[in-house]
Structure 1
Amino acid sequence: MSSRLRRTLLQSAALLPALPLLRATAASAPGSRSPLPMREVQASAPFDMPPIRVPDFADAPRFDIRRYGAATGDKAATTKAIAAAISAANAAGGGRVIVPGGTWLTGAVHLKSNVGLHVEEGGVLLFSGQPEDYLPAVITSWEGIECYNYSPLVYALDCDNVALTGKGTLKAELDVWRLWYARPKPHMEALVALYQHAVHNVPLSQRQMAQGEAHLRPQFVQFNRCRNVLIEDITIRDSPFWTVHPYMCQDVVIRRVDIRAHGHNNDGVDPEMSQNVLIEDCIFDQGDDAISVKSGREFDGWRLASPAKNIVIRNCRIKNGHQLLAIGSELSGGVENILVENCHFDRGDADGPVKGTTLVEINNILYVKTNERRGGYVRNIHMRNVTATSIAGGPLCVETDVLYQWRNLVPTYERRLTPIDGLYVSDVRVAEARFVCRIQGDAGLPVRNVTLQGVKVGKVRDQAFNVSNVEGLVNT
């Protein structure tokens, strides 16, 4: 068990009954007897970017879910079979769980160490839209606050050497999740209660959110406190909440993934408090941000104190989405050393991602957002060689008073400003935008050291530069 997870679990004696189960999971991963081959992936960057180690399952034993009783159209049998195949691969010292061609209806999938889930071309893993299929609740988070909630559809906790691969498709049924997008009054009350838990450092075991009408939707894919994670070639369609969420992970490669999800809060990838991450050659078609780097909300972010760090994003196409890269607004643990390069933001299919749907508004290329409560820091952010068509915002936007619904939900219990230092944007070309650069810094802590070099907008609809409380702005 990792020291991070142990610290979290030991917050309260009430969590002790869960410890034997977690220990058994870790002990049942005999990777030391038969370690999987590892690959090192190097991503060059204008900061010290260490090689990223990910598992290689190419020659690993195969565990076909049909051997364990999977049957098309039988959710219970397939869910049980996938779990059995994962356990068998884990017990064997490592293996690849195979989802063959066809459509396989399932509930939650929980990976274990040294196991890769591989969906073959023509295969569709169709995830039930019924919340009860994602119980019992698991350790997860909601917008930067830790809690017990419905299990993410694909989930791994405290695992080493895990993968999600193949040219098949993961698809979420949205029957109930779509209804939960509305966020009615009981949901907002649950968010306030969860926030109060964090303010008062309530033990994680008491933050039970998968009950009543809290309606906190789960992430589609969450790797929680995992090491050596590979997500490659897979197609993902629709999502209850954030689509791919590496949470407090080390060494992550997300490569050639095709995501389309246009529901509420449907970000593409949200690396949160994760380090040494490469996202490359992906296609994003989102109802929210394509990529959003995060590091926890206020009290939990400060408690966990794990920055999002060393993240390279390259060679990606964004068909739709609010931002190419958002940083925040949950950034209380800090964000540093980020590179975005050779990415292209366009409208994709002219009629929308799906016939009969509308395109979302493209806002900004790089958007840094925080507020007086967040604390944390943002530093050493690089973006280069990026293009876009027509956007509602601009190439660079920084706002330090973004609170959304939280402005009226809870008061400011502790005021901590966010130092923002070192934003470097070069060779960005946009056909049409509202502005080139908009920075609204806080008067008490100006944004520092912003460089724009070769940033070109063909048509500017408003004031090109609208900046306040900035020190060291260079535009060449």
Structure 2
Amino acid sequence: MKHTLVCTILFCYSIVVSVAKDIPSTKIKVQAPFGVRTIKVPDFSRSKEFKITDFGAVSGNKASISQAIAKAIDHANKTGGGVVVVPPGEWLTGKVHLKSNVNLHLSKDAVLLFSEDPADYLPAVPSTWEGMECYNYSPLIYAYKCKNVAITGEGKIKAQMDVWKTWFTRPKAHMESIKRLYNLAQAYAPVTERQMVNDTAHLRPQFVQFNRCENVLIEGITITNSPFWTIHPYLSNNVVIRKVNVYAHGHNNDGVDPEMSQNVLIEDCIFDQGDDAIAIKSGRNPEGWRLKTPSKNVIIRNCTVKNGHQLIALGSELSGGIENVFVDNCTVLDGAKLNHLLFIKTNERMGGYVKNIHFTNITSGKIDLGIVGIETDVLYQWRTLVPTVVRRLTPIQDIYLENVKATNVKFISRIIGQKELPVKNVSLRNVKAESVTEKQHIHENAVGLKLE
């Protein structure tokens, strides 16, 4: 079948997709304080199904399953799109690389179990590590420059963790490797020169990464465990994540990390995390400055958090900027281990900006720290690992919280701006806790505050 080359310009980068014909898409209209957003998602309702068992998958045989999934995906892509079906049962596999116009569908009682052998995620692919682009182990499920791609169904995807757990620690060799990557990014070295698969780096891959993709849907599935960030839409446009149940309690196990992505809807999901439930990011230092693509028009609604560091974190990688975020009608269950409901974190190296953040109708039990925290000197291990090469502060402004309540907190708000660039225009309306054990409001270098 003759293929056509379709070049779509998306934000400040290009996506090149080779397909026979795009499948249909549907439009979701979402009302937000920054206007009605229209998000496209692929529609596979009339697409042909391709069972992996028809392509040679044999239960218990990792090689046959990995090859069958790849063949089915390739066939669906080349024949105009389709649904690759994983039937009931446990299916051990290596990496899964999606292609345009393909829906990976997990049937009820299906478990796609991912190998813990790092060799199964080679060769290295274009990916990221904490906001810096590099070549690294492939994410377990990976889509690169794809259009109309989905993961759906009532089944499960699960990562085996014994090997990845040994990579959680950050020994000297690992720290030297991320220092090398930082310096390469700081020097604007080509990404092809940032090869991070070696004996010392041990940069764990994301579980699911959509890298430079358009029209993405994840719906219905359960995700258990993750080597690193769990769901990572990166430089992608039109992303819907709904009715997804995530349980991941390893190191850096955020639930969803939209990074330099736009028109994102996350709804009706359950998060039980070892890190932030949802962390919105936009690149670290020169990476965000180089790619010039903010995370923008992100809507999060009707989600439940069982555990996590934050309900919503913005940063600390935010050098490309974050704007137009709407979080509404979310619940943090009593007994969850949480630091903040909303935490905005940056430092003197990030630059970027944060603006127009709306946080409404949120309920929570006890919070270890407070409802909202804004800090401008969060550097973690980078403080002593590498010096500040370029100093760029982060303007933070127009943060609106309304109808937010918790039971027990240390503080309602803690806002620590910088003297030369105060945090501006933070509004708290009907933001309350039943018990405040330390101080209601802790503010330094903040102007235009409204407390109602």
Q: Could you state the TM-score of these two structures normalised by the residue count of structure 2?
A: 0.97
- Choose the corresponding residue for 1:429, options 378, 386, 405: 405
Q: Quote the residue 1:273 is aligned against.
A: 260
Contact 1:5 1:158 in 2 (8 A): no
Contact 1:49 1:276 in 2 (8 A): no
- Choose the corresponding residue for 1:300, options 287, 305, 321: 287
Q: Quote the residue 1:13 is aligned against.
A: none
- Choose the corresponding residue for 1:465, options 438, 441, 452: 441
- Choose the corresponding residue for 2:393, options 417, 426, 445: 417
Contact 2:12 2:291 in 1 (8 A): no
How many angstroms apart in 2 are the aligned matches of 1:6 and 1:206?
22
Q: Quote the residue 1:62 is aligned against.
A: 49
How many angstroms apart in 2 are the aligned matches of 1:211 and 1:106?
23
Cα shift readout 1:390-443 (whole Å, capped 9, x = no counterpart): 011111110000000000000000100000010000000100101001000011
How many angstroms apart in 1 are the aligned matches of 2:418 and 2:206?
33
How many angstroms apart in 2 are the aligned matches of 1:316 and 1:140?
28
How many angstroms apart in 2 are the aligned matches of 1:338 and 1:243?
20
- Choose the corresponding residue for 1:220, options 194, 198, 207: 207
Number of residue pairs matched by the alignment:
446
Superposed counterparts of 1:106-125, under 5 Å = 106-125=93-112
2:332 partner amino acid: F
2:201 partner amino acid: A
- Choose the corresponding residue for 2:59, options 72, 87, 90: 72
How many angstroms apart in 1 are the aligned matches of 2:282 and 2:46?
36
Q: Quote the residue 1:445 is aligned against.
A: 421
- Choose the corresponding residue for 2:338, options 359, 362, 367: 362
Q: Quote the residue 2:20 is aligned against.
A: 30
Residue 7 of structure 1 deviates from its aligned partner by 6.1
Residue 6 of structure 1 deviates from its aligned partner by 10
How many angstroms apart in 2 are the aligned matches of 1:126 and 1:5?
35
Q: What SS does the corresponding residue of 2:251 show, helix, strand or coil?
A: coil
Q: Quote the residue 1:189 is aligned against.
A: 176
Residue 2 of structure 1 deviates from its aligned partner by 4.9
Cα shift readout 1:131-158 (whole Å, capped 9, x = no counterpart): 0000000000001000000000000000
Q: Quote the residue 1:199 is aligned against.
A: 186
- Choose the corresponding residue for 1:371, options 347, 365, 377: 347
Q: State yes or no: 1:100 paired with 2:76.
A: no
How many angstroms apart in 1 are the aligned matches of 2:252 and 2:200?
18
Q: Quote the residue 1:46 is aligned against.
A: 33
- Choose the corresponding residue for 2:360, options 366, 384, 392: 384
How many angstroms apart in 1 are the aligned matches of 2:368 and 2:162?
32
Aligned-residue CA RMSD in angstroms? 1.4
Contact 2:106 2:156 in 1 (8 A): yes
Contact 2:12 2:293 in 1 (8 A): no
2:392 partner amino acid: R
Contact 1:254 1:278 in 2 (8 A): yes
Contact 2:11 2:293 in 1 (8 A): no
Superposed counterparts of 1:235-246, under 5 Å = 235-246=222-233
- Choose the corresponding residue for 1:176, options 137, 141, 163: 163
Cα shift readout 1:192-216 (whole Å, capped 9, x = no counterpart): 0000100111111110001122000
How many angstroms apart in 2 are the aligned matches of 1:84 and 1:421?
49
- Choose the corresponding residue for 1:81, options 68, 71, 84: 68
Q: State yes or no: 1:234 paired with 2:231.
A: no
| Structure 1 unpaired stretches of 5+ | 9-21, 349-358
Q: Quote the residue 1:353 is aligned against.
A: none
2:420 partner amino acid: G
2:252 partner amino acid: N
Q: What SS does the corresponding residue of 1:387 show, helix, strand or coil?
A: strand
Residue 39 of structure 1 deviates from its aligned partner by 1.1
Residue 37 of structure 1 deviates from its aligned partner by 2.1
Q: What SS does the corresponding residue of 2:373 show, helix, strand or coil?
A: strand
Superposed counterparts of 1:258-407, under 5 Å = 258-347=245-334, 361-407=337-383
2:235 partner amino acid: M
2:361 partner amino acid: N
Residue 30 of structure 1 deviates from its aligned partner by 1.1
Report which stretch shifted further, 133-142 or 181-190. 181-190
Q: Quote the residue 1:351 is aligned against.
A: none
How many angstroms apart in 2 are the aligned matches of 1:115 and 1:309?
26
Contact 1:130 1:175 in 2 (8 A): no
Residue 186 of structure 1 deviates from its aligned partner by 0.8
Q: Which one has the bigger strand percentage?
A: 2
Q: What SS does the corresponding residue of 1:50 show, helix, strand or coil?
A: strand
How many angstroms apart in 2 are the aligned matches of 1:406 and 1:469?
24
Cα shift readout 1:23-51 (whole Å, capped 9, x = no counterpart): 7xx32x112xxx32211111110003421
Identity in percent: 56
Contact 1:347 1:389 in 2 (8 A): yes
Cα shift readout 1:81-104 (whole Å, capped 9, x = no counterpart): 000000000001110000000000
